[in-house]
Amino acid sequence: MDAQANPNLSETLSEKRAGFVGLGLMGGRMAANLLKAGWNVTGWNRSAAALDEFAARGGVRAGDVAALRDEPVIIFMLPDLSYIEDAAAGLLALWAEESPKPGTAVVVMSSVSPAAVRDFGATVAAVSRGNAVVVDAPVSGGTKGAEDGTLAVMAGAEEHDFQRLLPLFNAIGSTVRRLGPLGSGSLAKACNQLIVGTTTAALAEAAELAERSGMDVEALYEVLSGGLAGSRVLDIVGPRLAAKDYEPTGPAKFMHKDLSFVLESAAAVGAAVPMAAAGVELYAELKRQGLGDLDLAAVRKTISNLGDSVATSSHNQLRNSKR
């Protein structure tokens, strides 16, 4: 069914109204850009401070997620799909009693499992009797991209649903693409995280090797940026790696989750992903070291700690050999 066949599908977005669940480091900035673009946004967040800031910018507070039941679009920006399912339980219970308007869209902008979001889509479709559709549209660009409204938006949706939501996506990001049906956006984000996570780890390894060899890391990064090793990851994360600045712009522990989605997706299609497998182990080590709530750049601290362990082991072996 397309928008021309059912005019309600296009009318649901004509009012520029949306609900927004999850007003954290990324979500709060994304919701603010919707407000700037003239959207009427009603938001919910677990912590009051973020909700206060949202309200100060012109947003409307929701008492709970279920209060968003009549919004034509409901965006979720929570850490993982399990959080979204928990938060949406009351909402779905209301829809089971009384279906939402046709064309209602539930937009998952978090990094989630491609397979799991398809299952979630089937659940929402069943509960709403086909009146609500799930679209996955994770983003990349960090807190700076969220602040500036320049995020990359990777959407998994049917073409007509994507076109209806395009004005909303354009208020949040500057690069917006439909990658395929539901689940495709999450797979694209997993690929993004594969590149970001392993590149950051490689830059961290290079920094540790250079510094322990007596080289200036900032000078190294400067010359690397002028060659083939130059990248957006180097431009954005490099200064934090060089300065050992681990103040969170987003918790590093989520990279372990995201790379696990790469392994899950690869297993489903028989693809080899050796870099992702190594990355999962490295970011698992980061979490074991208690660094998961720090910035992604904290992977340098993880590698430094591993290096200290290697140095200590080598020293002990040498000392024992001399006895």
Q: 136-183, pLDDT tens digit by residue? A: 999 999 999 999 999 999 999 999 999 999 999 999 999 999 999 999
- Residue 221 pLDDT exceeds 80: yes
pLDDT tens, residue by residue, 267-279: 999 999 999 999 9
How far CA 267 is from CA of 150, 236, 263, in Å, comes to 33, 31, 6
Position 294 confidence tier, pLDDT thresholds 50, 70, 90: very high
pLDDT > 90: what percent of the chain? 90
Average pLDDT over residues 190-196: 97
User: Which H/E stretch holds residue 17?
Assistant: strand 17-21
Which positions are annotated as active-site residues? 189
| Residue pLDDT, tens place only, 88-118 | 999 999 999 999 999 999 999 999 999 999 9
d(CA 115, CA 233): 27
**pTM attached to this predicted model:** 0.89
Residue 175 Cα distances to 140, 170, 228, 232, 233, angstroms = 10, 8, 24, 15, 17
* Predicted pLDDT at 1: 37
Q: Considering only CA atoms, which of 147, 189, 156, 157 is closest in space to residue 2?
A: 157
Is the pLDDT at 5 greater than 50? The verdict is no
Among the ranges given (5-14, 87-96, 182-191), the one the predictor scored with the smallest mean pLDDT: 5-14
* Average pLDDT for 204-214: 98
Give pLDDT, residue 250. 87
Expressed in angstroms, the distance from the first to the final Cα of the chain is 80
